[in-house]
Structure 1
């Protein structure tokens, strides 16, 4: 971070504001049906995970050209685009805002801080995604897509054009991105950059960014001389509910999904609290520590759990529905081989959670963050 005063914020869209980007290791691990895999099967091809992860954040035109070439497909890039785009439309309409995104957008709007969208997607695709989010059509009056500039990211063109439309000097803009392609573009535009990695296994590679956070819940506007948040309640933050199913054993939750796909996006990382329902038993209070860790060479999610009321023995191995309603804190952004003591649930976390869950704001299922 430097001393330049920030007067506008520019957001990337896919993987930054919306959960439209899922890393290929995630599909592979959970057996989820991926649209690219589905298309490649038609031509007797299989996905190359290394190539696809490196394509993350690439502009649509460059991406389609590269895919057709890399897999030696008997179609043109234009034909590929015509086939794959309608397949993605349904997914885009189902996409959700990532944790803390709506909180920040509303905060900037409230304090009249200019902000905009700058995406490597085409304008039509951006508008489809934006239209599916409540209020976003009105929120984003400035949007720049890849076809509106000479070159997409990592060229700075998109960000420079966005700054021009905002009427703000590029050096006074803060870019928020999830990919290395976008980070390089922001730095090339002489802007300051916050990285919110959508592929958590790569977050330790984002040193080019001025600041790295795991999710928007960790964003601190005051670091950029922007108006600070003032919405914490009892040392915690009310959040939009995060729901998932799981079973408990030996201090950890194992997520369970009906279709094998996780209900937790990669940016759900930190100490949260909420409620658990187990069959006909009373609703239990829970604190969870959610993080990604390297275990035996694999990068996997660990969910440490602590029940404030109720006995562990009573609920062991039973299916439970978890609803997280509050956020306490995050962790250091640098990856570690093992969970340290500082990153585990501590007594203060339990005390905060217990006090908060007695408040009406943490009973509400339409919380503001």
Structure 2
């Protein structure tokens, strides 16, 4: 039995094969769509944060254009919007899900899943579908298959209730729950990931880390990391944090919407696992994120949230002593600082 499987997560149903919807699951096309729409809307002083995505999924180009123009009050016609934006998608060799009149009916019907089962020579009832869109989930269920939803729409999981399981991301998929071979890359309750790097001056957050939770976080501005955040799913990560004037420290962090507090924007909130005697707002903080712990979740009480955060801390502290992760403590990026921030230290 996998260490991540317990009696609280029993076997759901035996599956003999997996059918994945490539777009939005294995390929991060949603990030490209977001970048294009974000850039276009900024010309009109508007901000795209992805929450309107569910209103355009499954729409034809004209229908989607009407939704966006009306939703944002743009001073242009839907046809003008489509004429300017659609070529930008084509230049990236992608077609937003449902934004092609010729394939929209097949894309969101059960026929594609039934055809896949036929080619695999499997009964539909033995197939496990992984989908990111609401129409795709509906189509998978209509084909008589089990469906795991990995929503591409932030904070809209309630729209996917027809799915047999709902995951924050593919990082949380447990094949053994469906009678399939388990993944073997989890180590000490952590999942190693390709390291990624972010840095910038420490900014003031919502003021609840120390005051409400008793957990002082060193927040980073997300203004320069919109694309990077779209590539990485919400959840709890860990790694190393470097302050050029203070050294390198273990770190656990949350990226996401903090559902308990119902944030309206995606945030980056690192917790440096060290007792500091003073604040360091404005100092350059560089992070090397090396592993994943769990998905973002809501909690029934503040006490249960605090308990879980401290459990995340213990997991991160132990894991970062493993050679797999500890080697990144010496990454030169950690103590790098920009000229503007080095000058006043």
Normalising by structure 1, we get a TM-score of: 0.65
> Which blocks of at least 5 consecutive residues in structure 2 are unaligned?
1-9, 70-75, 205-209, 211-215, 329-345
1:276, 1:320 within 8 Å by CA — same for their partners in 2? yes
> Does the 8 A contact of 1:289 with 1:345 survive in 2?
no
Cα deviation 1:294-342 (Å, max 9, x = unaligned): 588753335543322462626344231222112223354xx56875524
Moved beyond 6 Å, runs of 4+: 46-51
Report the Cα distance in structure 2 between the residues aligned to 1:86 and 1:279, rounded to whole angstroms. 44
Q: Deviations over 1:159-205 (max 9, x none)?
A: 22222233322222111122211111111111111111122211132
> 1:65 and 2:66 equivalent?
no
Contact 2:149–2:160 under 8 Å retained in 1? yes
For the 8 Å contact 1:289–1:344, the answer to whether it is kept is: no
Distance apart, 1:343 and its partner CA = 5.8
Q: Which moved more, 1:256-265 or 1:192-201?
A: 256-265
**2:35 is equivalent to residue 20 of structure 1:** no
- Is 1:321 aligned with 2:286? yes
Q: Does residue 162 in structure 1 map to residue 163 in structure 2?
A: no
Deviation per CA, 1:142-171, whole angstroms, max 9, x where unpaired?
xxxx96796321x21222222223332222
Question: 1:350 corresponds to which residue?
Answer: 313
Q: For 1:196, which of 136, 150, 168 is the aligned residue?
A: 150
Give deviations 1:245-275, integer Å, cap 9, x for gaps.
3526542343325646252238633332101
Structure 1 portions without partners, runs of 5+:
94-118, 123-145
Aligned pair in 2 of structure 1 residues 208, 178: CA closer, same or farther (>3 Å)? same
* 1:152 equivalent in structure 2: 107
User: What residue number does 2:183 align with?
Assistant: 229
Instruction: Give yes or no for contact 1:57–1:182 (8 Å, CA) kept in 2.
Output: no
SS in 2 for 1:265: helix
Query: Is 1:174 equivalent to 2:139 in the alignment?
Result: no
Residue of structure 2 aligned with 1:209, choices 150, 155, 163:
163
Distance in structure 2 (CA, Å) of the matches to 1:47 and 1:300: 11
Q: Is it true that 1:276 corresponds to 2:237 in the alignment?
A: no
Q: How many residue pairs are counted as aligned between the two chains?
A: 299
> What is the TM-score normalised by the length of structure 2?
0.69
User: In structure 2, what is the Cα distance between the partners aligned to 1:295 and 1:346?
Assistant: 13
Superposed, 1:1-369 pairs within 5 Å as: 4-22=13-31, 34=38, 37=41, 52-58=52-58, 62-67=59-64, 73=77, 75=79, 80=82, 84-89=85-90, 151-153=106-108, 155-246=109-200, 247=202, 250=210, 251-257=216-222, 259=224, 261=226, 263-265=228-230, 268-293=233-258, 299-309=264-274, 311=276, 313=278, 315-332=280-297, 335=298, 341-342=304-305, 346-363=309-326
Match of 1:111 in 2: none
Q: State the structure with more CA Rg.
A: 2
Per the alignment, in what secondary structure is the counterpart of residue 232 of structure 1? coil
2:51–2:153 Cα contact (<8 Å) kept: no
